[in-house]
Amino acid sequence: MKKEHREVMLHLQGLHRVISDLVDGRPVNYIDVPVHGNIGDLLIMKGTMKFFSRNKIRLSLMAGYYNYRPNWTRPGDVVVFQGGGNFGDLYSGPQQIREKAIYRLKNNRIIILPQSIHFESAKNYQKSVDLLAKHQDLHIFVRDAASYELAKSMSRHVYLVPDMAHQLWPLKPNVEPGRGVLGFFRTDDEIGKRTISESRTQTDWPELVGANRTQRILLFYRITKALHLLRVDRPLSMKAMMLWMKYADRLIAEAIDLFSSHEHVLTDRLHGHILACLLDMPNTVSDNSYGKNSGYINSWTKESSIVSLVG
């Protein structure tokens, strides 16, 4: 039985309260800030920052996965890793710094915000289990039931909650409500069997960001990484990440305007679906390559009156 969309979204926001309880007023190191043009990850980042602000959580450090050293974390700090879909062996970098921090910071509470977990290799999965399970204060938040089953072997503290981008609801567009259908489809390694294609406009995050801005983002990444390699970035990390977030706001605003200039969204992007939900837009979703979208929708948004899952 379908429910009013507002009822569903308010319920999902409230499920994040346990994260604030775990922080318990201590200073937070927010790690794996996404410095790239995937606007889905930027929505997660902005939702996380909104959550921190709402719950008066104090940030003592922010860094990307590529410019963080675990020895920056002080005794008593809570290390909070960005949520998303990079937990596993599909993407290199973020998983390695998570495991490095978990191995070295045995006396700090570590929180991994809502992730979808996927390992191509059973050997890589077992290796991660063997390392993570040794940490006594590791708290893993996951976004779907399949990830929950994978995480149970990694920690005694596993929680099933929705994506942090839900903290942004409701988003208010700056443009008048549009007409027609937006097709928002993956062009990367997670592309699935597309079963929906009728649309007025068809694009993806890389096309929306564009080549010129992608180069600017890459330049910022290279500069901050160079400062890290020179070991002079510790006092600059917070300022650099705040500067990046201001730029990310512009990218998010353009995505909001694009979606709002249509009346319906067809997508195989999880955050195409979530952004449409944040804007109260009807959306029809097909799966990615390994079932992330259907897993998420079946866990959280299938009851919404504006959501349809196909394929």
Question: Is residue 281 domain-shared with residue 266, that is, in the same domain?
Answer: yes
Question: Is residue 156 domain-shared with residue 188, that is, in the same domain?
Answer: no
Domain boundary among the residues 136, 167, 198 is at 167
pLDDT tens, 10-36? 999 999 999 999 999 999 999 999 999
> Which residues on neighbouring strands pair with residue 158, listed in sequence order?
140
Question: Is residue 272 domain-shared with residue 149, that is, in the same domain?
Answer: no
Q: Where does residue 70 rank: exposed (0-12), middle (13-18), buried (19+ CB within 10 A)?
A: middle
Q: Output the domain CATH number for residue 87.
A: 3.40.50
From residue 195, give the alpha-carbon distance in Å to each of 11, 21, 192, 259.
Answer: 30, 42, 9, 20
Domain tally, the chain: 2
Question: Is residue 155 domain-shared with residue 12, that is, in the same domain?
Answer: yes
Question: Is residue 176 domain-shared with residue 279, that is, in the same domain?
Answer: yes
Question: Is residue 221 domain-shared with residue 138, that is, in the same domain?
Answer: no
Domain boundary among the residues 138, 167, 196 is at 167
Q: Where are the beta strands (DSSP E) in 38-142?
A: 59-63, 78-81, 84-88, 110-118, 138-142
Band (193; pLDDT cuts 50, 70, 90):
low
pLDDT tens, 121-145? 999 999 999 999 999 999 999 999 9
Any idea which of 62-71, 160-169, 177-186 has the lowest mean pLDDT? 177-186
- Best CA proximity match to 209, nearest among 175, 253, 169: 253
Q: Rounded distance, CA 255 to CA 281, Å? A: 13
Domain boundary among the residues 107, 135, 167 is at 167
Question: Is residue 147 domain-shared with residue 249, that is, in the same domain?
Answer: no
Question: Is residue 28 domain-shared with residue 114, that is, in the same domain?
Answer: yes
Mean pLDDT across 230-237: 89
In the DSSP assignment, the letter for residue 279 is: T
Band (195; pLDDT cuts 50, 70, 90):
low
Please give the residue range of the domain that contains residue 133. 5-167
0.85 exceeded by pTM: yes
Question: Is residue 186 domain-shared with residue 263, that is, in the same domain?
Answer: yes
